[in-house]
Amino acid sequence: MRRKLVAGNWKMNGSLQSIFTLMEGLKAGASSITGSDIAVCPPAVYIPKVVGLADGSAIKVGSQNICDQDSGAYTGEIAGSMLKEAGCQYAIVGHSERRALYGESDALVAARFAAARRAGLTPILCVGELLEERENGTTEDVVARQLDAVIDLEGVSALADAVIAYEPVWAIGTGKTASPEQAQEVHAFIRNKLAAADATIAENIVIQYGGSVKASNAAELFGMPDIDGGLIGGAALQADEFLAICDAAQ
C-alpha cells in the first residue's frame, strides 16, 4: 500500500523570519497529519535551519537540486553528501524551471538522480510536458524520454528508492491545473511503463502530481488511483493552505 507524499517546493522564496513563521505553523498542524508523509524543500542556505525547526515533527526536508558530482571544483554546486549531512532526506531533480531556465538536459538530470542515490537521498524526479507538446499529442513520448534517461543510466531498480513527480509544465505556477482525469492518464502511463520492466517497483513507487495544486483541488486530484500526493509550489508557502493539502492526501 503506497503512502501519499506531499512535498513543498519553496523555490527561491523566503527569509529567516518568514521560514520561521512558516515552520511554526506547519509544526503546529503536522501532528494531525498521520496518514500521509510531509516534506519541505527550502532554498539550500536555509536547509540546516529548517531541519532544526522541523525537529520533533514528522516533517522531512529535501533540497531543490543536487550536484551530479560528489566533490571538487564545481563552483556554486552542492554535493549530495553535504545535503545528507545537513539533514535532507529528499532531493528534487529535473524540476522544469531547472530544465528550462538553466538548460538541464535529460542526461544531466539523470546524473543528478544518480548522485542523490549515491548520497542516500531519495530523488524526486520531475517529468512533464510543455503546453505545445501536450497540444501536439507528444506528452507520453516526452515523459517516456525523461524517464528513460534515468532508467538507461541507473536501471529500473533505481526507481525502487525514488519518487516521481508528474508536473505538466503548463500547469506550474500558472493557476491552470491538469484535470484529475488528465493527470491520472499520465500517472497510469508512467506506472504501466514501469510495470513492463518491474511490476513491484511500479506498484510501490510514489507518483506525485504537481502544477497549481491548492487546498480547493487537492482532494479531487489525490482521489485518483495513481496519484500519490503532490509536489506543491506556491501553495506551500502558507502553512494553512499547505496543511489543508496534506490533509487532503490522508
User: What is the contact surface with ligand PEP in residues (CB under 6 A)?
Assistant: 9, 167, 172-173, 210-213, 231-235
Is-catalytic flag, 187? no
- Between residues 82 and 235, which has the closer beta carbon with respect to ligand PEP? 235
Task: Give whichever of 80 and 128 is closer to ligand PEP, judged by the CB atom.
Answer: 128
Of 201 and 231, which CB lies nearer to ligand PEP in the complex structure?
231
CB count, 10 Å around CB of 118?
14
For residue 75, the one-letter residue type is T
Rank residues 22 and 202 by Cβ distance to ligand PEP and give the closer one.
22
Q: Which three cell numbers stand for residue 135?
A: 497540444
User: Minimum CB separation from ligand PEP for residue 64, in Å?
Assistant: 9
Please give the C-alpha separations between residue 132 and each of 90, 93, 167, 199, in angstroms, as whole numbers. 31, 23, 15, 32
Query: From the CB of 128, what's the least distance to ligand PEP, in Å?
Result: 9
**Given the residues 95, 97, 129, 241, the one annotated as active site:** 95
Catalytic residue (choose from 129, 167, 187, 241): 167
Q: What angle do CA 200, 202, 109 make, to 5 degrees?
A: 125
CB of 114 to ligand PEP, least distance (A): 21
Q: Please state the closest distance from residue 158 (CB atom) to ligand PEP, in A.
A: 22
Beta strands in 103-205 (DSSP E): 122-127, 163-166
> Residue 201 and residue 139: Cα distance in Å, rounded?
22
The H or E element spanning position 93 is strand 90-93
H or E, element range at 147: helix 139-154
Annotated catalytic residues are 95, 167
